[in-house]
Structure 1
Amino acid sequence: MIRLRVPDRLSSYLVLMGRPTKQGLMLLADALMLVFAVWAAYAARLGEWFVPNRSQVLLMVIAPLLAMPVFLKMGLYRSVIRYLGEQALWSVFKGMSLAALLWTVLAFMTQMTGWEGVPRAVPFLYWLIGFALVAGSRFGARWLLWLPTRSRFSGKQVLIYGAGDAGRQLAESLRRGRELFPAGFLDDDHNLHGKDVGGLRVYPPEHLPTLLERFDIHDVIVTLPSVSSVRRREVVALLEQYPVRVRILPALTDIANGRHLVNMVREVDIGDLLGRDPVAADPTLLGRCITGKAVLVTGAGGSIGSELCRQIAALQPGSLVLLEASEHALYQIHRVLQSVLGCELVPCLGSVGDAALVTRLLHKHRIATIYHAAAYKHVPMVEANVLEGARNNVLGTLTLASAAFDADVETFVLISTDKAVRPTNVMGASKRWAELVVQGLARQAGASGTGQRFCAVRFGNVLGSSGSVIPLFKEQIAQSGPVTVTHAEVTRYFMSIHEAVQLVIQTGSLANGGEVFLLDMGEPVRILDLAHNMIRLAGYTVRDEGNPEGDIEVVVTGLRPGEKLYEELLIASSNGVGTSHPKIMKADEPSLDPDTLAERIDQLRAALEARDEDAVRAVLMSVAGEQRDDDRAARIVET
């Protein structure tokens, strides 16, 4: 302990010195080292303990007098030792070379005047020893000055991936903080490898295993704010192979001027691993159905509904009506919107299945646009509560859509799901029914020439929504596992909740009536890989046969009732056609003729009134199957 305390005290004393005092000490140290370098050069050349004569003593004293002006000109005393980089070696090399050359010229000139000669090897040895002493003293001083900091941050050192401007600014911010300390940079640029940037060494990424052990690294911060999400995913995929916690710096659009970068470092979001850039919104489509109009959002307190409300509020609606069955959820979103919305805000506690309530809201507030997000969407919960799932998702949608038609609502957007495609569970079937209901109202509006537009938007799992698997995985990881996956080959599409809501808003502007809109969501993600990634990103290792000493186990529990291995976005894969938005497609999906739809709805009502779960399930699934290609305008084949 004493050995550590003394260098720490000396380092702190040196750091607190004034800059002129430090420069004076450096000048004195260099002078003494150069005198010693001349003596050592003679001793090395002669191979014995060297006792200089009068003329040789004079040459030793002259050496620093010649070198000091050169060193001053080369800027050797302007650098801050603690942040000294490899570029200082070049300055020392040039300064020492010129000083040695001047000394050599003077030494041989004295020989011409009759003084005792200088062995030819001495000037070279003087240059070599002087360079080693001057350069070594500076980097040794840098090590000494950082010693207390390294001791204080033992076990808290981090590596920064990316030695660009953002990485350098982050390193500087970390140095001024007290939580973490930068140990070095990782960078893909071969020209930077082995060099010092801002006093920190730049290493190639393949050196990471050695660096983790050498510096006791537990965190790596990725500072690649301007690269694509595909490249960011590749970097994160590389890092997650090692037992480190990975953090990431936000995009450049979130960084104003480089200050406070430490506070902007966030945990890696699972969205960083999806390998797709967010779909850009078309400004001309966003406000068309909202700005200056009365808008109703159902399920306003849910994960999708609340984000819808936030984005709608930014588009300056004439009024915004919130319909929500949960008092707490309604209170929360109403409280948030009160401070940002500059128009009439109407919170309404109730259900979309309440025909009288819905009709009164639409007429009283003259609603022009409806975003229908109210639905039960947890597959196991709806599977265990078939009656309520069907009543809310199907009859609730029918009640709301019919009231919207009667109230001359201009635009009705149903938020659907990829589970509505060839569904194998009650939730997916009920959402397919909701699509059929909306298609039926769209056909009715077209036939009557009202100009009303009824459409649906279909997408996959939303990151951060209450129905996503990701919150469950986070909770299981926080509890040290196990993380449960239903099947090793299950895949799902994912998108951000912000992006999903932007899509919903824009589809209303693209609709003509009866379409089902869907997004180019990239490649599906294997849920088992997602679980492994989330465990590693949390700083843990996966416990399996290859690593029995790992931290968290992944358990395959088997498919739940009605669960599919993979999801689709289209019932007929040839149906999708492009729109004016480059990432949005629309499909003319199979629908039921009016008589068949009315007949099946009557059957569903009767089964619900009888509280016959088997009958309700049978009716739901009877119209949710795949339609025959040769009978697209008529009926859906029973499964």
Structure 2
Amino acid sequence: MLGNKFGIRSVIAFSHDLFAVAAAWLLAFLFYLDFRISVLPFALFFDLMSWILPVQAVTFLWLGLYRGLWRYASLPDLKRITVAVLLSAVFVSIIIWQRGLLEVVPLSVSVLAPVLLLMIMGGSRLIYRAWKERRLYSLENYDGKLVLILGAGSTAVNLVKDLASSHDWHVVGLLDDDPRKLGTRLHGVRVLGVIDNLPHWVQKLNVGHVIIAMPSLSHRLRRHILEMCSEMGVKAMIVPSYQDLINGKTTISQIREIQLDDLLGRAPVVLDDEGLHGFLTDKVIMVTGAGGSIGAELCRQIIAFRPEYLVLLERNEYALYCVQEEFAKKFPDTKMSFAIGDVKDGARMDQLFRQFRPTVVFHAAAYKHVPLMEHENAWQAVMNNVMGTYVLASTAIRYQVKKFVLVSTDKAVNPVNIMGASKRLAEMVCQAMQQSTRNHNQLTCFVMVRFGNVLGSAGSVIPKFRKQIASGGPITVTHPEMTRYFMSIPEAAQLVLQAGLMGGLKGGGEIFVMDMGDPVKIKDLASDMIRLSGLGEDDIRIVYTGLRPGEKLHEELLSANENTVPTPHTKLRIAQAPEVNEQWLVAFVARFEKIKSLNDAEVRIELAGWVPEYAPNGETVH
């Protein structure tokens, strides 16, 4: 019955421990008698074993000593053994007292026996584990991946411990720049040297993989490590970030390849969770452009705050279908509607607002591709980005939406292209509508959020570069000095939510500017992507094609006549942009309601009349 319940390994372990009990008591008597076997009281010993062994057996089984494997014996197992030995020692002492054996069982024997038992039980398990791991993971018999770990802190310690039980990895050493750690051992793995010695140790130990186990490492050092690994033909990997570990997204052993986000070096966003719960929880939220990269990520972030209902509005049928498929699997408990519609369609907007009565609207729908909007599609860019915003915002005011958050762009600053000018004009429309709501005591608060490029979004260079690398190159970059601000899609979405919460601090109509960090050279981004693909620039060439229509060499986050003021959040500031009044809005709407269509040149002239800072690619507008 014992074998059926525990299995053969547990039966062997159980038998070992009972033998250890007998051995511990025998040794305790021998120590007491100075190992004079001739005077050993065998009759007393066998009498004691007749009832001590059952007491110990019941205690061991009761405390679950045989649920784990000796190969994975660790500190919690040693604690359990200690408790079992001490508890059984108490039971044995009570029985010795009840049976009147205090005079024949020496006190020193009663004290020494549990100590010896603890040493035998704990020591045998640790010896077995050490033997098993040495046997399984020695370099002579090992067929898995040899790996060097960079870092010797707590993250590296946990990683070494996790990988010790893996058949796929064998850690041959650690590298760390802390001189105090050089030569020390972590779980039997030696700290060999500093990180700059990586090429030496890779060659000496024939290592094929490097794992960065320093979540707080600067992006510059990460890039340096990636360059070294690329030159040596070694695969570089990384442990999850602190943010992922804290959020429970992954475990320490789920190492992954280095991604562009890791080289960007941006600190995690700290959100006002309590405030956002008040802002979003149990509210009806609408997101336009929900099929796009930013819109879809906004929805994912919003769902974490448990809205009462989420309306996902998108014009592109296939994009919305893909989001619907994903969300149905990931968020089955969230009430959602997937609505097809165009923000320029006033009747459809009226229908949706009347049906769902949203409390907050995040307006992420826009045409964003600069060259595509610059020629042949200029009028459509204005209609979608500007008039679509006006129609949606007007509907929001009528249905007393509390917050209307416009997702804007850094290209709206001193715009030189149609896309940027149209987004600046959309900002001005929202500013004017905020002025109108104040004049008419209406409820809606307008908030605008500007940020730069996001890694991996549909309109960014990242998907394009990936395709070019997959096809064997070359990668096309417009100019060697071109720079852009970058952040990850989740970071951008989180800051949009935070700005939406904070909107109204200055009476509404604020334009929030995100801290985009330092600008990144597109050339460096292309080089990073080549290295991340495991190739070099000898394999994939970088070719410069010249600036495209409507492109700037460097993006800006503020225009010449704008300053910023700080907010309680370190990554958000408020741009002090020129105000736009209600009379401006009346004139603008009257003008655009008369226009049916304009060609590209006429659109530029029209935009220059409404957006003073617009200078189309350096052209002079008459």
TM-superposed CA distance for 1:148, in Å, is 3.5
> Which residue number corresponds to residue 534 of structure 1?
529
Are residues 1:520 and 2:512 paired? no
> 1:501 and 1:145 mapped to 2: Cα distance?
45
Distance 2:389 2:361 in 1: 12
Distance 1:502 1:254 in 2: 15
Deviation at 1:308, TM superposition (A): 1.2
Which of 330, 352, 364 is the matching residue for 2:355? 364
Instruction: State which of 489, 496, 517 in structure 1 corresponds to 2:481.
Output: 489
Deviations 1:326-368 (A, max 9, x none): 2222223234444526454222111111100001111222222
Counterpart check, 1:579 vs 2:552: no
Contact 1:421 1:571 in 2 (8 A): yes
Cα 1:403–1:147 change in 2 (3 A) is: closer
Q: Distance in 2 between matches of 1:560 and 1:606?
A: 32
Q: RMSD of the TM alignment (CA)?
A: 3.2
Letter of the 1:428 counterpart = G
Tell me if the contact between 2:449 and 2:512 (Cα under 8 Å) persists in the aligned partners: yes
Q: State the Cα distance separating 1:405 from its structure 2 match.
A: 1.7
Per the alignment, residue 285 of structure 2 pairs with 295
* Structure 1 segment 197-596 matched on structure 2, within 5 A: 197-202=186-191, 203-225=193-215, 227=216, 230=218, 233-243=220-230, 244-252=234-242, 254-255=244-245, 264-338=254-328, 340=331, 342=333, 344-384=335-375, 385-512=377-504, 513-542=508-537, 550-572=538-560, 574-596=562-584
The secondary structure found in structure 2 opposite 1:616 is helix
In the alignment, does 2:173 pair up with 1:190? no
Q: Provide the secondary structure at the position in 2 that maps to 1:565.
A: coil
Matching residue's letter, 1:299: G
* C-alpha distance in structure 2 between counterparts of 1:367 and 1:199, whole Å: 59
The yes-or-no answer on 1:167 pairing with 2:156 is yes
Paired amino acid for 1:540: L
Contact 2:287-2:312 at 8 Å conserved across structures: yes
Going from structure 1 to structure 2, the CA distance change for 1:580 and 1:638 (only over 3 Å counts) comes to farther
Task: Indicate how the Cα distance of structure 1 residues 216 and 260 shifts in structure 2: closer, same or farther if over 3 A, else same.
Answer: farther
Are the structure 2 counterparts of residues 423 and 287 from structure 1 closer, same or farther at C-alpha, using a change threshold of 3 Å?
A: same
Equivalent-residue separation in structure 2 for 1:345 and 1:144 (angstroms): 52
What is the SS of the residue equivalent to 2:408?
strand
Q: Aligned partner of 1:333: which letter?
A: V
Letter matched to residue 538 of structure 1:
S
Shift of 1:386: 1.7
- Structure 2 CA distance for aligned equivalents of residues 159 and 337 of structure 1: 39
Match of 1:133 in 2: none
Q: 1:595 to 1:461 in 2, by over 3 A?
A: same
Q: Is the 8 A contact 1:372 1:413 kept in 2?
A: yes
Q: Measure the CA separation in 2 of the matches of 1:520 and 1:491.
A: 16
| 1:612 aligned partner, one-letter code | N
Rounded Cα–Cα distance in structure 2 between residues aligned with 1:368 and 1:220: 49
Q: Report deviation, 1:293.
A: 2.1
Is the contact between residue 286 and residue 502 of structure 1 (CA under 8 Å) also seen in structure 2?
no
Q: CA separation of 1:142/1:295 partners in 2, compared to 1, >3 Å: closer, same or farther? A: closer
**C-alpha distance in 2, partners of 1:147/1:309?**
49
Cα pair 1:460 1:494 within 8 Å, conserved: yes
SS in 1 for 2:546: coil
Moved more, 202-211 or 488-497: 202-211
Q: Is the 8 A contact 2:266 2:487 kept in 1?
A: no
Conserved in 1, the CA contact under 8 Å of 2:229 and 2:236? no
Aligned to 1:615: 602
Deviation at 1:412, TM superposition (A): 0.6
Bigger mean CA offset, 375-384 vs 238-247: 238-247
Asked if 1:624 corresponds to 2:616, the answer is no
**C-alpha offsets along residues 228-256 of structure 1, whole Å, 9 cap, x if unaligned?**
x53x5424424423423321101345448
Distance 1:305 1:619 in 2: 29
Cα distance in 1 between the residues matched to 2:248 and 2:206 = 28
Residue-by-residue CA offset, 1:369-421 (whole Å, 9 max, x unaligned): 11101111121222242232222111111111111122222211100000111
Task: Report the counterpart of residue 72 of structure 1 in structure 2.
Answer: none
- TM-score w.r.t. the length of structure 2 is 0.71
Name the CA distance, whole Å, in 1 between partners of 2:593 and 2:206.
Answer: 66
Q: Is the 8 A contact 1:490 1:526 kept in 2?
A: yes
Shift of 1:600: 4.4
Cα 1:355–1:257 shift into 2, 3 Å? closer
TM-score, structure 1 as length reference: 0.69
Q: Distance in 2 between matches of 1:468 and 1:322?
A: 23
Contact 2:244 2:250 in 1 (8 A): no
Which stretch has the larger CA shift, 245-254 or 491-500? 245-254
1:315 partner SS: coil
Following the alignment from structure 2 to structure 1, what is the Cα–Cα distance between the partners of residues 331 and 614? 46
Q: How far apart, in 2, do the equivalents of 1:436 and 1:257 lie?
A: 38
Percent of pairs identical after alignment?
Answer: 44
CA distance in structure 2 between the partners assigned to 1:619 and 1:606 by the alignment: 13
Cα 1:598–1:450 change in 2 (3 A) is closer
Counterpart AA for 2:149? I
The one-letter amino acid paired with 1:427 is M
Say if 1:474 and 1:274 are closer, same or farther in 2 by CA, change over 3 A.
same
Q: After TM superposition, give the deviation of residue 299 of structure 1 in Å.
A: 0.8
CA distance in 1, matches of 2:479, 2:319: 33
Q: Deviations over 1:562-615 (max 9, x none)?
A: 1111111112465211122232111231244444444445555555x2342321
Name the CA shift for 1:273/1:292 in 2 (closer, same or farther; >3 Å): same
Distance 2:448 2:320 in 1: 24
Unmatched segments (≥5 aa) in structure 2 = 1-15, 17-69, 71-129
1:234 corresponds to which letter in structure 2?
A: L
CA, structure 1 residues 501+341, in 2 after alignment: closer, same or farther (shift >3 Å)? farther
* Contact persistence 1:604–1:620 (CA under 8 A): no
SS of equivalent residue, structure 1 residue 552: coil
Q: What letter is aligned with 1:241? A: M
Aligned to 2:35: none
- Give deviations 1:432-455, integer Å, cap 9, x for gaps: 111111111111111111132112
- Judged with a 3 Å threshold, the aligned counterparts in structure 2 of structure 1 residues 410 and 254 are, in CA distance, closer, same or farther, namely closer
CA distance in 1, matches of 2:208, 2:378: 48
Q: Distance in 2 between matches of 1:318 and 1:378?
A: 34
* Distance in 2 (alpha carbons) for counterparts of 1:571 and 1:258: 41
- Once the two structures are TM-superposed, the CA of residue 145 in structure 1 deviates from its matched residue by 8.0
Q: 2:299, 2:246 → 1: CA distance? A: 27
Which whole-Å deviations, capped at 9, do the CAs of 1:39-69 have from their partners, x for residues lacking one?
Answer: xxxxxxxxxxxxxxxxxxxxxxxxxxxxxxx
Distance change >3 Å, CA 287–CA 341, structure 1 → 2:
farther
Contact 1:517 1:587 in 2 (8 A): yes
SS in 2 for 1:321: strand
Q: 1:429 to 1:240 in 2, by over 3 A?
A: same
Instruction: State the one-letter code of the partner of 1:271.
Output: D
